[in-house]
Structure 1
Amino acid sequence: MMSNLFSIFDPTTEINSLPLNWTSTILGLLLIPTSIWLIPSRNSMMISLLMNKLHKEMKTILSGGNQNKGNSFIFTSLFLMILMNNFLGLFPYVFTSTAHLTLTLTLALPLWVSFMLFGWIKNTNHMFEHLVPQGTPTMLMPFMVVIETISNLIRPGTLAVRLTANMIAGHLLLTLLGNNGPAMNHTLLTVLIAAQILLLILEAAVAIIQSYVFAILSTLYSSEVN
């Protein structure tokens, strides 16, 4: 019996009816040796360098809100969490949590709601100004208000769907190609393995890029309400 193409993303791992799928979200802690927290190592130096670079970039984006120092640490931590889960999803038999809207919406929606509450309560005039871009003709102002309002409301959805769709797309392609392996001869199988390796490298790059995009867009949305 053929199953749904997307059934590979269905939560199925359980022991005695206890669902264990989302435990993959914290599996990254098992990959971090204790020595990283105690003495400097190449891994810790690489992570520290990456976090410092991201902190400086996000601090520049948030420089307009000098009263909110430390906000960049929230987004660098968000980047690291998404990156860890994206990479874990590349391992066989590991539940890809970032390929589900359950997780991505849980990350995007509270962030967006907190930005909106802060902006409309603390900077009401500034939020109204964002609804009408500077230089808009008077006749187009009502339409611009509607367009800006809709674009603002769909932001958490676009953040969540972008991350989920990119995680699902690569995994589906790897699965579809891998399922054709047993029916191929040795020559085509060699080509398939090479293609799978290249796709896996591409997926690793997508995991980094999508983590960066999610964190940077969240930072930009936060900077607009200050």
Structure 2
Amino acid sequence: MMMNLFSIFDPLCISLNLSMNWISSMLSILFIPSTFWLTYSRMNMLWTKILLNIHNELMPLLKIYYNKGATIIFSSLFIYIVFNNFLGLFPYIFTSTSHLSLTLTLALPLWLSYMMYGWINQTNHMFTHLVPQNTPFILMPFMVLIESVSNLIRAITLSVRLTANMIAGHLLMVLLSNMSMFLEIHLIPLLMLIQFLLLTLESAVSIIQAYVFMILSTLYSSEVN
């Protein structure tokens, strides 16, 4: 119950003795658009630098210099896989990229769209791509068979490569952590050092596998253009 009419303006007049009225003065900052700031934040500058480097890396592979937005899908794919790989290194966080249900979902639509676009719009190019140049006439039927199988399993190899690398590193870290209960006390620091080095290696593998997935997807798309 208010003691007087002006008690609503008292910052201490709140239940549970929590003076939270001044928070409303800070909420206005959250509603200011980022374009009103004079300079970008360091996080924005970092992401802009990363995306620009990825764009410059992919443009020579795509060979589409007039379409600057062609690299957006591959850079987004790279960032998504890197985030999932890194989050899987933290304790008690599910590693989604270690399951084929996710990696195959990423690779299969890309591969299927490449194949449909190539065989519908550039059929002759897809047929000639099955036989490399300077192939002997006797080996042509075998090369067609080999190239056909290679094209059919590309989605599987993309997904299995990422999944296998994530599973291998996590299994090795779990096996080493389970050894701690069987080791003597003076060997525990050595085990911790090995696990730290393995964690550093897994961090590098997380970036490398995302980069390999992005580059191979880009190369597969460049073959049908």
The bucket for the TM-score relative to the shorter chain is 0.7 to 0.9
C-alpha distance after superposition, 1:170-196 (max 9, x if no partner)? 000000000111222222100000111
For residue 138 of structure 2, give the secondary structure of its aligned residue in structure 1: helix
User: What is residue 126 of structure 1 aligned with on the other side?
Assistant: 125
Describe the shift of the 1:192–1:94 C-alpha distance in structure 2 as closer, same or farther (beyond 3 A). Answer: same
Structure 1 unmatched ranges of 5 or more: 1-33
Corresponding residue number in structure 2 for 1:222: 221
Match of 1:141 in 2: 140
Distance 2:191 2:70 in 1: 45
Which residue is equivalent to 2:156?
157
Correspondence for 1:71: 70
* Equivalent position of 2:82 in the other structure: 83
Q: What are the Cα deviations for residues 144-175 of structure 1, in whole angstroms up to 9, with x where unaligned?
A: 10000001101000000000000000000000
Q: Rate the CA distance shift 1:66–1:120 in 2: closer, same or farther, 3 A.
A: farther
Structure 2 partner of 1:61: 61
Instruction: Supply the distance in 2 between the matched residues of 1:94 and 1:106 (Cα, whole angstroms).
Output: 20
Residues 124 and 66 (structure 1), Cα distance of their counterparts in 2 relative to 1, 3 Å cut: farther
Cα displacement (A) at 1:47: 2.0
2:198 maps to amino acid: L
State the match for 2:186 in structure 1. Answer: 187
Q: Please give the root-mean-square deviation of Cα atoms over the aligned residues, in Å.
A: 1.8
* 2:16 match: none
TM-score, scaled to structure 1: 0.80
- 1:21-40 correspondence runs (5 A): 38=34, 40=40
Deviation at 1:42, TM superposition (A): 2.8
- Paired position in structure 1 for 2:46: 46
Q: Distance in 2 between matches of 1:62 and 1:44?
A: 26
| Between 193-202 and 44-53, the greater mean CA deviation after superposition | 44-53
In structure 1, the residue matched to 2:4 is none
2:82 and 2:207 in contact (8 A); partners too: yes
Q: Tell me, which stretches of 5 or more residues in structure 2 are unaligned?
A: 1-29
**Cα gap change, 1:68 to 1:145, in 2 (>3 Å):** farther
Answer yes or no: is the 8 Å Cα contact 2:173–2:198 preserved in 1: yes
- 1:68–1:127 distance in 2 versus 1, CA, 3 Å: farther
Runs of 4+ in structure 1 off by over 3 angstroms are 65-69
- TM-score, structure 2 as length reference: 0.81
- 1:87 partner amino acid: F
Instruction: Please state how far the C-alpha of 1:68 moved relative to its aligned partner.
Output: 5.7
Q: CA deviation at 1:67?
A: 7.0
Alignment partners' CA distance in 2, 1:116 and 1:61: 18
**Secondary structure in 1 matching 2:90:** coil
Match of 2:18 in 1: none
Structure with max Cα Rg: 2
* Counterpart-to-counterpart distance in 2, 1:210 and 1:204: 10
- Aligned partners of 1:172, 1:124: CA distance in 2, in Å? 44
Check if 1:108 corresponds to 2:107: yes
> What CA distance in whole angstroms lies between the structure 1 residues aligned with 2:197 and 2:205?
12
Q: Aligned residue for 2:24?
A: none
